[in-house]
Amino acid sequence: MSKKVQYELEYPVRCSPSILYEFLSTPAGLQEWFADKVDYRDNVFSFSWNGSVEEAEVLEQEEDEFIRLHWKHAPKEEFFEFRIAISEVTNETILVVKDFAEKKEIADQSQLWDYQVKDLFHRIGN
């Protein structure tokens, strides 16, 4: 199995960082766009899709800035992160998604994120 590499995707979004952060860091917000059902207990999110459950531990977070999670089944060094940046040029809010995938799978994984984020933007009214 090849080693996974980190990749990063950026999505400009028309909404305030605090509203975006709610959709990225709370069970109710994540359930709107990321998974069918989301629970949170003891610093661990449980995400359900079509009856299948995956757990992700919160490694780090800072309100209105970022949340970094680690899938419990993944190697320790891998994580996924939602970071909120502000463009210095346009003052636009930017959602930065960091994740890991095998090099040959990055295009497919990026498409999956594009689809998910499109759903998020629809929920936000973007």
- Domain coordinates in residue numbering, the chain: 5-125
Contacts 24+ apart (CB under 8 A), 29-33: 32/120, 32/123, 33/116, 33/119, 33/120, 33/122, 33/123
Residue range 74-85: mean pLDDT, rounded: 96
Candidates 3.30.530.20, 3.20.20.300, 3.90.79.10, 1.10.10.10; CATH matching 5-125? 3.30.530.20
10-52 pLDDT tens trace: 999 999 999 999 999 999 999 999 999 999 999 999 999 998 9
Q: What is the pLDDT of residue 9?
A: 98
pTM, to two decimals: 0.93
The pLDDT of residue 8 is above 90: yes
Q: What is the pLDDT of residue 2?
A: 67
What percent of the chain has pLDDT above 90? Answer: 92
